[in-house]
A and B are shown apart, each in its own frame.
Chain A
Amino acid sequence: MLLETQEISKEFGKLRAVSRVSLGISKGDIHAIIGPNGAGKSTYFNLITGYHRATSGRVLFKGKEITGLPAYRRCRLGITRSFQITSIYPKLTVYESVLMALLSQRKVTLTFFSPAKKFFREEVWGILEDVGLADQASTLGDSISHGDKKRLELAVTLGTEPELLLLDEPTCGMSLEETEVIMGLIKKLSVERGLTILFTEHDMSVVFGIARRISVLHQGALIADGSPEEVRASEEVQKVYLGGST
């Protein structure tokens, strides 16, 4: 197991957003977390990345407990995330944004006198080419299209050379074409870079298209976990979720 949560819970006042979720993510997997709105997907994500602290339970990464670590330390261990609302650097160029991630990952951010632009050229261009943003390297973050912003965020997270990549609604607000491109990209990255990917998603065709394992949350609790076929066949899932809309 690359990542494991043990009986993890999060309460906001009286609201129990995540309730005793125990789940393991295996190395190299593409693992989806699904569930209706308010099921606790984002909160669960936030517990893993350190955005929120768990009320109880433990989070283990590569067998080591990380439950109380702040976000920046978890990132250094190899856990990086993207945000549901794309989080980029509006006034940095595409190149500079990816560079930032590499500077941090390779621990040179306390270098004071050599120019930042001399660092990691090959690595930055490599990532930009992988995600298809090389031709927009010198464009500002807020001047590229919505789909490209998602792609940029993905490129930035790759810059931290993560082992576990958490994507919160990676295709949120994207057109059908853009969605296909980004999902293809995620699949490719998982294979080429050996990344483990944990993602939440609304769009069921995306989830069943690329996930190798799916976990279903409902009202904060884990109600199903297994291969796409198993989850699709689960009666409980159909009751609360898949059939819930009809």
Chain B
Amino acid sequence: MEDHHIEGKDSWIKRGWWLILLIIASFLAPTVLSEFYLSVLCEALVMSLMALSFNFLFGYMGQLSFGQAAFYGLGGYTVAMLLTKAHFNFWLSIVAAVLVAALVGLVVGIFCVRLRGIYFAILTLAFGQLIFTIVFKWHNFTGGDDGIQGVFPPELLKSPIAYYYFILLVFLVSAFILWKIIHSPFGHTVVAMRENSERTEFLGIHIAKYQLIAFVIAAAFCGLAGAIWVPFYRSVAPSYLTWIKSGEPVMAAILGGPPIFLGPILGMFVMTFFHAWVLGFTVYWPVVMGALILAIIFFLPGGILGFAQEKVRQRKERNHQLQKK
């Protein structure tokens, strides 16, 4: 059975060269970008991490979570409170933030994974808003609508460039881990559940359990994204937990193409940089953003990368058929 190969190994470098170039470029970015655009790039990377973890649920498991901002915000708040109130170690604070997000994800997940489709979306939205309200109202503990200011990273990461590299590394490692998970037997099971959950259950899979694990993983990475963003921005506010924030990864995934790993990253980069650029000449950026999203949904169904992939596939199929003739 040696002749059976699904894909050749030798083509790895051929297929991956652009990715290597992108990573090299991102390491060189601080030498060319202004401080303003460097901070935009930081935001794009952090939000991309959030979008990737969201898309693990949306694009791969087929469940739309509309409450991911709660985990993002919880990560941010955990770091902010540990650093400013308890003067905790920076690195341990980040770890704690991930654990808090994962734990809350576990509790919320237990309730949500029983549901599917729109009901799942609404329940995650409700939990998200619940957590937002607690943070917003509990003034003594969280600072309420004032948020928390003066969240500083350690000396080593004080400069924007140093912090950029920190964000970049966390992003690359997290993206790699998520990529590995998606292509692992666990990821394969998650995709199979999306494709046909009944069939998968009748292959011996306890659907709710796998959905819960995926939900916790996504919550943990969302928490990590929030945790590394807050010390860069030096503050955290309840707006981080609102449903509007939860909508950002949704839009990014739809713009980029949900079934594709890099889709939400591209979507988030387009959104973040477009936002920064449009703000330069109008405060009505939601109008411009709305128009962009409409245009992409109308003209590039399946998202930017989804559309491109479909075109490539069609061309391949045509060539294949021509060869057969």
The smallest beta-carbon distance between B207 and chain A, in angstroms, is 8
A100 touches B204 (CB 8 A): no
Choose among A90, A91, A95, A156 the residue that contacts B6 (Cβ–Cβ < 8 A): A95
User: Which chain A residues border B201 with CB–CB below 8 Å?
Assistant: 71-72, 75
Number of A residues whose C-beta is below 8 Å from B? Answer: 44
A103 touches B4 (CB 8 A): no
Q: Give the interface size class of chain B.
A: 20 to 34
Choose among B181, B196, B204 the residue that contacts A112 (Cβ–Cβ < 8 A): B181
B183 touches A116 (CB 8 A): yes
B4 touches A100 (CB 8 A): no
A115 touches B203 (CB 8 A): no
Q: Which of A73, A100, A117 has the most CB of B within 10 A?
A: A100
A109 touches B185 (CB 8 A): yes
Interface mask (B185-210 → A, CB under 8 Å = 1, otherwise 0): 11111011001101111111111001
The smallest beta-carbon distance between B223 and chain A, in angstroms, is 18
A75 and B202 in contact, given A100-B192, A115-B184, A116-B185 (Cβ under 8 angstroms) = yes
B204 touches A111 (CB 8 A): no
**CB of B180 within 8 A of chain A?**
yes
A160 touches B203 (CB 8 A): yes
**CB of B1 within 8 A of chain A?**
yes
User: Which chain A residues border B207 with CB–CB below 8 Å?
Assistant: 72
Q: How far is the CA of A134 from the CA of B184 in the complex (A)?
A: 23
Of chain A, the residue at the smallest CB distance from B187 is: A116
User: Which chain A residues border B199 with CB–CB below 8 Å?
Assistant: 83, 87-89, 156
Q: How far is the CA of A138 from the CA of B4 in the complex (A)?
A: 11
A116 touches B204 (CB 8 A): no
B205 touches A109 (CB 8 A): yes
Choose among A95, A99, A111 the residue that contacts B186 (Cβ–Cβ < 8 A): A111
Choose among A80, A116, A117, A121 the residue that contacts B202 (Cβ–Cβ < 8 A): A80
User: Which chain A residues border B186 with CB–CB below 8 Å?
Assistant: 109-112
CB neighbors of B among A64-108 (8 A) = 70-73, 75-76, 80-81, 83, 87-92, 95-96, 99-101, 103-105, 108
CB neighbors of A among B166-188 (8 A) = 180-181, 183-188
User: Which chain A residues border B192 with CB–CB below 8 Å?
Assistant: 89, 92, 100
**CB of A241 within 8 A of chain B?**
no
A92 and B204 in contact, given A109-B210, A113-B181, A117-B6 (Cβ under 8 angstroms) = no
**CB of A208 within 8 A of chain B?**
no
A72 touches B1 (CB 8 A): no
A100 touches B180 (CB 8 A): no
Q: How far is the CA of A13 from the CA of B206 in the complex (A)?
A: 28
A92 touches B185 (CB 8 A): no
Of chain B, the residue at the smallest CB distance from A138 is: B6
B204 touches A160 (CB 8 A): yes
The smallest beta-carbon distance between B129 and chain A, in angstroms, is 31
Q: How far is the CA of A103 from the CA of B205 in the complex (A)?
A: 10
Where the two chains meet, the residues of B that have a C-beta atom closer than 8 Å to any C-beta of A are 1, 4, 6, 180-181, 183-189, 191-192, 195-196, 198-207, 210, 213
Query: Beyond the given A71-B202, A108-B185, A116-B184, could you list 4 further A-B residue pairs with CB under 8 A, ordered by the A residue number?
Result: A72-B207, A80-B203, A89-B196, A109-B205
Q: List 15 A-B contacts (CB under 8 A).
A: A72-B203, A73-B204, A75-B204, A76-B204, A81-B202, A83-B198, A100-B188, A103-B185, A103-B188, A105-B204, A109-B189, A113-B184, A115-B180, A121-B1, A134-B4
